[in-house]
Amino acid sequence: MTDLLGYQGRTCVVTGAASGMARALTESLVELGADVYAIDRVASNVPGVTRSLVADLSDKASIDELFRALPDTFDAFFGVAGLAGVHTSFLDTFTVNFIANKYITDRYLVDRIAPGGSIAYVTSAGGLRWEFPEIRDELTPFTAPERSWDDLVDLTARFDEEHGGELAGFVGYMLSKRALNLLVAERVETFAAKKVRVNAVLPSMTATGMLGDFAEQRGGLDNLKAASTGPAGRLAEPGDMAKALVFLGSDLAGFISGVFLDVDYGMNALELAGINPMRTRWTFAQSLAKQS
């Protein structure tokens, strides 16, 4: 039978593999015959992986050590790890969700992904509307290729100060997901020149390790379910996101790059059609001024 997905014998790197979507993804990739390097801040313990590596994505030195331990080249990188921003600071949340992924992309993936390979990031439905010019203008300072890790940390601290200081972790979450979407779009040409595709998956609310944090932030699980259950009539499961990621990294998606895949069973479509209100159509300047 033709191997339409093409993972057999391919080398894949997955971040966040100890839990949730990335764990489900890692299990699927192992089943499909890939050699998987499972990365997390704790041991991933997924049976069948080639190697489980512990790395802290909030720490540049730990990322550098990680990339010394990974193969010189690999075929697919799935950047899934993230923080909900409910129990972490604005800076810590932004660092893991965005600064780490930008650093990995610009410092390592550019040279380490083999031609024909793929990068897929998990951003969020919370990062929708990044493409509107007035929203994008707030993000472009963060995505410039020349920005070093330290520059980005300084810039993030300044963003906090400019908006009154002590921004909540969840603001860091929204900023990070918007910025990562923009980064994907901006890097399409760089990676196309190397025959590498780069895409994003934007999940709706999913029953993973993060669900408790999101429920706490939204006044309990019942409130969260009422606000986040779309046409599917249920929250997403980790496997729903894993399947979309498996697809984007596979040969079936061989001509797909720069795509922002809403895995939300139509929730964003309802907003685009004007059937439901567009929830995230605000700039940080507008939204944070209102709160202060």
Ligand X SMILES: NC(=O)c1ccc[n+]([C@@H]2O[C@H](COP(=O)([O-])OP(=O)(O)OC[C@H]3O[C@@H](n4cnc5c(N)ncnc54)[C@H](O)[C@@H]3O)[C@@H](O)[C@H]2O)c1
Number of residues that bind ligand X (CB under 6 A): 27
User: Which CB sits closer to ligand X, 85 or 117?
Assistant: 85
Establish if 56 lies at the interface with ligand X (CB under 6 A). yes
Cβ distance to ligand X smaller for residue 108 or 116:
108
Q: Is 172 in the site for ligand X (CB under 6 A)?
A: no
Decide if 90 contacts 96 (C-beta within 8 A): no
CA angle 154, 199, 132 (to 5 degrees): 65
By the rule CB under 6 A, 182 interacts with ligand X: no
CA distance 24 to 192: 28
Binding status of residue 71 toward ligand X by CB under 6 A:
no
- Using rule CB under 6 A, residue 248 touches ligand X: no
Question: Considering the rule CB under 6 A, would residue 51 count as an interface residue with ligand X?
Answer: no
Q: Does 34 bind ligand X (CB under 6 A)?
A: no
Query: Rounded to whole angstroms, how far apart are CA atoms 180 and 40?
Result: 19
User: Would you count residue 209 as binding ligand X (CB under 6 A)?
Assistant: yes
- CA torsion through residues 46, 50, 72, 33, sign: negative
Residue 124 binds to ligand X (criterion: CB under 6 A): yes
CB of 205 to ligand X, least distance (A): 4
Choices 66-74, 133-141, 161-169, 205-213; region in contact with ligand X by CB under 6 A: 205-213
Query: Hey, how many other C-beta atoms are within 10 angstroms of the C-beta on 240?
Result: 20
Q: Is 263 in the site for ligand X (CB under 6 A)?
A: no
Minimum CB separation of residue 41 from ligand X in Å reads 4
Query: Which member of 6, 16, 172, 249 binds ligand X (CB under 6 A)?
Result: 16
Binding site for ligand X (CB under 6 A): 16, 18-22, 40-42, 56-58, 80-83, 96, 122, 124, 203, 205-206, 208-211, 214
